[in-house]
Each structure stands twice: as C-alpha cells, then as structure tokens.
Structure 1
Amino acid sequence: MPRRIYEGYAYSDAARAECIWPLPDQTWPELTDAETTEVAIVGGGFTGLSAALHLAQSGAEVTLLEAHVPGWGASGRNGGFCCIGGDKIGLGAIRQRFGVAAAQAYFNAQRGAIDLVDDLLSTHGIDAETHSSGELQLAHRPDILPTLRAERDLWAEYGVDATLIPQQDLADQGASGTFHGGLHVPLGFALNPGRYLTGLATAAANVGALIRANSLVQSITRSGSTYKLKTPRGQLTARKLILATNGYGADGLPDWLTGRYLPLQSNILITRPLTEDEIFAQGWTTDLMAYDSRHLLHYFRLLPDRRFLFGARGNVRASAQGQAAMRARMRRDLAAMFPAWVNVETPFFWSGLVSLSRDLLPYAGPIGDWEDAWVGMNYHGNGVAMGTWVGARLADLAMGRDPLLPIHARPLPRFPLPSIRRSYLYPAILAYRLKDGPVT
C-alpha cells in the first residue's frame, strides 16, 4: 500500500488555507470511468503541467491526473523565485564530482530553465506579476563574506557578472537589514506562482491535454506494454508514464520510488500591505528576490502589492500545533531581521513540501527498469524554473527524443532505512541551527 511519511495535515487543505496565490478557477473534470491515453502524467505542478503542455504541442495524446486541482501542491504555494537552483551542493562541488563539461552543461540547463519560463510567459500571454533582476544573497555573519567572494569568482567562470556589495553599500541598494554584505547574481526573476500555474494549465488544455482533477492515483501497475493507474472512481490505461508528484509522492507508488526522495516542509509568512513610510523606515525598498546565507535559510521579497513575503524551513511536525509553532518562530525571525516591522501584522501563513534527494541533486530519468516510464523530482526548493525545464525534458523522452540531461539521469540513490528517513531531519535541523547561530 502507498505510504506517505508525514501526518495527514501536510496533505490537507489546512496546510495551505491562507495561501494568497490563486488556483485555476476552471472546473476540471474528475476521472470517473475507464479511459486510455498515450501518456499518463501524475501530478499537476510545474513539472507535470510543463510535460503535458510540451507533449500536447508535439501531437501526443496526454492525460494528467491530479489529486486535487492543478497547482494545489508545492508549486502553487512557493515563494515564486524563478532562479538558478535545483541542487543543494553548488556548481563547484558538481564540477569536482562530475567534471568541467558536466558542470557547464548543468549550468546551461539552469540558465535554460529560466529562459524557458520567460518564453512560456511571453508565448502564452501569462501575466505572472514578474519583477526582480536576479537574486541577492545576504551574509548573516561577517565570516560569510569570503564565501560570497569565492562564489562571485565562480560565477565569473560561467560568464555571470555577479556583484559583491559591501555592508556599507547595502542601504544604497535598498537592502537594509541585519546583514554584513551581499552578492547580487543577475539571473532569474520573481513571479506569482499561482498565475503562472493557471497559465500553464490553460495553455496545456488549449492544445489538447486532458486534465483530470480530484483524481488521486491509488495504484500504478504494469501490465505487458501498458500502465494501469487506478483512482477512486476510474482507471487510466497508458502506454507511457510520467510521475511528477515530487514531495507529495508516496512510498510504494511505485515500489521503486520508496526512499528516493525526502519531503521537507517550507513555510511562508506574508505581511499586510506596507505603507511607503514603513518601507522606507526599514530601508528595504528593493524588489530583488533575496535570501540569507544560513543553512536553514530565510528567503524574502517585497511583492508588487507592497506586502512582504518571508519564507523559511525547519519545521518537522506536520500538525496544526507544529504549524503554529513555526509561524511564531518565523514571526520572531522577521522582527529580528527587519526590526522596523516588529509590529507589522502578518495575516497569512502556509506550508508546503519541497523534496530532497540523498545526493542533493535533482533527478529526471527512468523509473527503475520500467520501460517508457520516467520521473522528475527533487528540486530542493527551487522548482519554478527547474521543474518547468524537467517537465519539458520528460516530454522529450516520452516523444522518443534524446534530451541533454547533464547530471539529472544518474542512478538515484535511496536513503538508508527509508521507512524512518523523516527522523533524520530532527538532528540535521538542530545541527544547522547551531551552525547558523541566533537570528539577529
């Protein structure tokens, strides 16, 4: 039987009840009968919708099954950072492990992922409230500055003109706070993920992809050259299969997936709209995507409507009590990092599941030894661009094309003792908090 590793709260509407991002307002039909298709896709987030769109554009018959509605999961409740990312080890470590050529190909993929999102927004006329010329990494301690200098030099090797900003110049950049310097990397942009997902789903449906909502896949079985996907009220038979559930997957669905991903809760706090006086009092006037240098990082940006988005990770308990405790922690962190906003109301808070791999790299490739079956997952909290790009590459695979997958298609290792892998998070988070030091 399929098994999820968190309590039911993590997979309930309660976890996203206060999310400000819009879900598609279309009424998507449920799978209520026995249907057939060429390609079945499980999951209606960035990866699944991108795969559906690209497949349908290529003339394939495709049906997407979503347990709720498109964008309900992590894709529709993230911070909206369309940026470089997908791994948690960095280009330097990737180059050491896989070589110069593979690292360059991976960087090209990351840059291409950003360009793909930009192209989709333009091609399909999606107004996703885009802003921000790249992202700003901020040093939370003085001893982080040498690391930022090294990162600047590494970016230069890949043709990226990253700018190191001394502490005394942060205020001039509209980035005042309790930081000790920053690195501006001019790659990527911010967007409203709900609007982007709505546009993707609409575009995919317009070119012929069938989207079935409220159709939780309960089992996947291989029968000869076909796959049978059972839902509460229907069954879908397909010749090819794409799995795009990421952190919302389930062990045993299929067996190969068990232990090859580790969901982690990411949380977002939103202020009420700030007045111009409040914005200038704090000195945070930039619209750049930003994050600090902690292992358990905070990520934040000033939204176009002048609300402030403040995100963080580090909550292992998936319950109303756990969510309330994380909300209180983040409220304290926001006040410590941006003291002028200590009394600003924060009426919205929600959580979602990102997904990690054991080797801290994204994956796009076969589902074990199953023929004509692929999965894309483990974006380590950076799935806006990478998930979109992986979806397009999975579509290539399903169409018989041979896409460049620089590191994504390596063998995907399992976590040891996979049934208890969530428990690894407790000591890891404690250790990271000790390394990061107090939030000031």
Structure 2
Amino acid sequence: MTTFSPFNETLWHATAIPAPAMTPLEGEVSTDVCIVGGGYTGMTTAIELRRRGVEVTLLEAQEAGFGGSGRNAGHCTPTFVLASLDGLRQALGRERGDRLIARQTKGADMAAEFIRDYQIDCEWKQNGFFQGALMPSTMEALEQKAESYAAAGCPSSLIDAAEAERLTGSTRFYGGWLLKSGGHLNPLSYSRGLARACIQEGVRLYTESRMIDAVREGAKWRLKTAEGSVLCDKFVMATGAYTDGGGMQVEKTYKIWRPLLAATNPLPADVRKQVVPFDGTMHDGRGDIFVYKYNREGRLVVSMFPRGKRGHDMPFTRQMLLDRLRWLHPQVPEHTVWDYYWMGELDMQKTTIPRLYALGPGAVACTGLSGRGVPTGTMLGGILADWAQDVPETELALPVEKLSKAPPYMAIGPQLMLHWYAIKDNLAAKRQGVELPPHP
C-alpha cells in the first residue's frame, strides 16, 4: 500500500474553508453511477451527472480533497504541459484533438463557473498566467505557443520585456507569453466547495469509505467498503495518484512523482506592489520549472520538482528556493522565511494528457492530470459524464484505452528529463551570454 505525503502540513489545510459534514458508508446503497475518488475529477463528474438527472454515489477513502486536489500549488493554468496543440491533433486525430483542446483551454473558465454557481469561497482570481523568457532564444518558442493558443480561441499573446516587467516586477525577462484566462485559488477550499455542491445537487457522498473490492454481479457492479457496498450500473475510478488498492490495477498504469511546494511568510504590502503586481501565476520559463503565485494572505506559494539535493536536504532546499525567488525579484526581503513546506503526489506516465482506461463492462478509470489538476480535473467531469451516458467512444474527447502498465523507464524518466532540461537551459544561457539563476 502506498504511503502518501502528510496532508495536515500544507498551507491549504491551515487556511481552507471548513469541510461540509460527511459520513462513512454503512450498509448497501443502489445507484446508477458510482464514482470512486473525491477530488476535482470525481466531484465534477458527479455534479455533471446529477445535473443530467443521473443518480450518483461517490466514495472517498479519506476526505474530499485529500489527494492532489487539496495539496497542489493552486494555479489554474488551462494549457497542456508538454504536448503542442498540433501534436495533440496528430496523436488523437483532428476531431478528437480539437474536442480535447476546446475543453482543456476552457478549464479555468469552467472552474470560474463552478465557483460562481455554487458561491465557493476559495480565493479565486483569474488574472492570467505568465511564462517568461529568461534568454532571447526562448522568445521564438513562446511566440509559437502564443500563436497556437490564440488560433484555438484563447486570450493569448506574446509580450515584450517592458510589458513583462510591468506585469511581474522582474527585470530578468526578455519578454514572455501571457494567457489571460489563467487563474489561481486555494485548492482545498475549491475541493470542499465542490463537495458542498455535490451534496446540494443530491449526490450521496461518503468519506472514510475506501473501496476495497469491485465485483460483477450479473449486469451490475458491487463496490465494497469496510462497512458497506454500492450496487451500480457503472462506475468511475477517479483516484489518480492516490489510488489505494481496490483490485483494479489502476496504480500499475503510472509512477508516482512528488513535487515540492512551499509558502513564504506574508510579504509586506509595499513588496507585493513590486513583486508580481498583476497577481497572476508566474512560470520562470526554464525547463526545470519554478512556478509561483500569491495566496489571500500575501504569501508567495512556489513549486518545483525535486532534483539532486533539492527536496531531500531541507536547509539547502529552503535556501535554494529563496535564492531563486530573490534572483527573479530582489525586492523580496532577505529575511523572508518559508512558513510552510509540503509535498504531494503526481501520477506520471509517458504522455502528459489524461488517460481513460477500460476496467470492464461499464467501468473506467481516469489518470494523468500531469500538473494541471485544477482546470483538467474540472473539465474531465464533462467527458466522464458523457462516457457514463453512453456517448459513443469515437465522440468522446479522450479515447478509452486498454489498461496497461507504465513502462519501467518511467521510474527514472522524469528525473532524467529534469536534468536534461537544466543542462540544455544552462548551455543555451552560456551561449547567449545570459546570467544563470542560482543553483542552476
């Protein structure tokens, strides 16, 4: 059984809105669709189905938002991590690729609608996503990205160095890409708000109800927990990296990778006017990414991936994060400290788009949100609701694939990729006479 990172050490656990009252499943329940997993994907699927008049039961092993949905960095960036839009169309076919692109690029707007419709207090701000260019050569790649997202109907543009400095307060950038639809929030508050929305819509939501087995009984499924069971026509496993048994082998389809996250003490008001004054999400633009944004208290919340000593040597990690932040923004005080530090789990696989896996007649699993959990988990609810309502597979925005094991190289692939990105960026910076960030 996988041991997950501590949940109660996160900034979000300390600052989120209260969870609605929920109880474990006891006894037998019958339903049209049972969803396993109380994160964004599971809860938006439940809400979508209830809006369509489908009877839904949701089982969560811990509490709503316990997994990646409650401990991520809180940025809502409606893009794809590595795949280009044209590459997606080639991989999925033009029609399916366009359907997925339309859903993913509207993921932040969908989150905004859930927040508005259900009055979720989750620190939501939709001020945009900025990806910077720390060397001149990066501008060409960002220009292509800006043009491709604009062609897909997104508020996407390339900006010059002067505008980048105005938005970010940093003089390090030669320019960058601005996607105005990006947002950020308190991810656990959003999760708990979605849980309230589920209950409001009539979803039977049970917490502390880990699915321990799923068996066929005639044309139906029986999902068993420690104290009860759910008899259903169809079921969806939406547990992602937090899959905890259940006998369906979903955890074999990915390898877990643990990002690191940290939050500063609240920065003074005069500093916040100089550092990321546009109050959006920042990406420094290196392949070995450094992403950051504010929370409601004025803390900068940053995220990176472990590499070498980073993530293992805590004093070094904290100093490295501060050095990187102050290199970009020397206005940040030297005495800034990291009040919170935590880690989470990602279900990494060889592609960086969500995957739907057939588990048997009327059963499907969804994994692979790949660091874009807020918009991706939000938009997946519509796709999985379509599947549950028998929309033909050819008309879904994602194919339903045969369950397959993650290739062995995925155990070390992400680390090797990070090292390669760092080497590539460092060599390019030296060729162009650009200063390297600390601890490159």
Relative to the length of structure 1, the TM-score reads: 0.86
Q: Supply the distance in 1 between the matched residues of 2:201 and 2:91 (Cα, whole angstroms).
A: 41
Name the residue aligned to 2:236.
242
How far apart are 1:413 and its partner, in Å? 5.3
Q: Supply the distance in 2 between the matched residues of 1:107 and 1:64 (Cα, whole angstroms).
A: 28
Flag the 1:41–1:154 CA change in 2: closer, same or farther, 3 A: same
Pairing partner for 1:261 from 250, 254, 258: 254
For structure 1, which segment, 330-339 or 239-248, has the greater mean C-alpha deviation from structure 2 after superposition?
330-339
Name the residue aligned to 1:299.
291
Q: 1:153 is paired with a residue of what secondary structure?
A: helix
1:54-93 correspondence to structure 2 within 5 Å: 54-93=48-87
Q: 1:40 is paired with a residue of what secondary structure?
A: strand
Flag the 1:107–1:260 CA change in 2: closer, same or farther, 3 A: same
Matched, 1:373 2:363: yes
Let me know the Cα RMSD of the aligned residues. 2.9
The residue type equivalent to 1:68 in the other structure is Q
Matched, 1:340 2:331: yes
Extract unaligned runs of 5+ from structure 2: 427-435
Pairing partner for 2:227 from 233, 248, 257: 233
The residue type equivalent to 1:340 in the other structure is Q
How far apart are 1:48 and its partner, in Å? 0.7
Flag the 1:13–1:302 CA change in 2: closer, same or farther, 3 A: closer
Is the CA contact 1:171–1:283 (under 8 Å) kept in the aligned structure 2? Answer: no
For structure 1, which segment, 46-55 or 390-399, has the greater mean C-alpha deviation from structure 2 after superposition?
390-399
1:32-51 correspondence to structure 2 within 5 Å: 32-51=26-45
Is the CA contact 1:251–1:259 (under 8 Å) kept in the aligned structure 2? Answer: no
1:413-428 correspondence to structure 2 within 5 Å: 414-417=405-408, 421-428=410-417
The residue type equivalent to 1:338 in the other structure is H
Pairing partner for 1:397 from 384, 387, 393: 387
Flag the 1:327–1:28 CA change in 2: closer, same or farther, 3 A: farther
Percentage of pairs with the same residue: 25
Q: Supply the distance in 2 between the matched residues of 1:51 and 1:167 (Cα, whole angstroms).
A: 42
Pairing partner for 1:176 from 170, 178, 187: 170
Q: 2:223 is paired with a residue of what secondary structure?
A: strand
Q: 2:114 is paired with a residue of what secondary structure?
A: helix
Matched, 1:279 2:272: yes
Is the CA contact 1:39–1:398 (under 8 Å) kept in the aligned structure 2? Answer: yes
Is the CA contact 1:355–1:380 (under 8 Å) kept in the aligned structure 2? Answer: yes
Is the CA contact 1:260–1:358 (under 8 Å) kept in the aligned structure 2? Answer: no
How far apart are 1:408 and its partner, in Å? 4.7
Q: Supply the distance in 1 between the matched residues of 2:156 and 2:125 (Cα, whole angstroms).
A: 18
Flag the 1:309–1:210 CA change in 2: closer, same or farther, 3 A: same
Pairing partner for 1:119 from 101, 113, 124: 113
1:34-78 CA-to-partner distances (Å, cap 9, x unmatched) read 433332211100011111222233333322111111011111122
Name the residue aligned to 2:432.
none
How far apart are 1:290 and its partner, in Å? 1.7
The residue type equivalent to 1:361 in the other structure is I
Flag the 1:395–1:160 CA change in 2: closer, same or farther, 3 A: closer
Pairing partner for 2:304 from 312, 315, 330: 312
Q: 1:259 is paired with a residue of what secondary structure?
A: helix
Flag the 1:407–1:30 CA change in 2: closer, same or farther, 3 A: closer
Q: Supply the distance in 2 between the matched residues of 1:333 and 1:426 (Cα, whole angstroms).
A: 20
Relative to the length of structure 2, the TM-score reads: 0.86
Q: Supply the distance in 2 between the matched residues of 1:11 and 1:237 (Cα, whole angstroms).
A: 32
Name the residue aligned to 1:219.
213
For structure 1, which segment, 387-396 or 87-96, has the greater mean C-alpha deviation from structure 2 after superposition?
87-96
The residue type equivalent to 2:347 in the other structure is S
Q: Supply the distance in 1 between the matched residues of 2:48 and 2:116 (Cα, whole angstroms).
A: 15
Q: How many residues align?
A: 427
The residue type equivalent to 2:52 in the other structure is S
Pairing partner for 1:28 from 22, 27, 35: 22
Q: 1:340 is paired with a residue of what secondary structure?
A: coil
How far apart are 1:222 and its partner, in Å? 3.0
The residue type equivalent to 1:389 in the other structure is M
Q: 1:170 is paired with a residue of what secondary structure?
A: helix
Name the residue aligned to 1:270.
263
Q: 1:132 is paired with a residue of what secondary structure?
A: coil
Matched, 1:130 2:124: yes
How far apart are 1:316 and its partner, in Å? 9.3
Matched, 1:429 2:418: yes
Q: Supply the distance in 2 between the matched residues of 1:422 and 1:322 (Cα, whole angstroms).
A: 21
Q: Supply the distance in 2 between the matched residues of 1:115 and 1:17 (Cα, whole angstroms).
A: 25
The residue type equivalent to 1:382 in the other structure is R
Name the residue aligned to 2:352.
360
Q: 2:375 is paired with a residue of what secondary structure?
A: helix
Is the CA contact 2:256–2:346 (under 8 Å) kept in the aligned structure 1? Answer: yes
Q: 2:158 is paired with a residue of what secondary structure?
A: strand
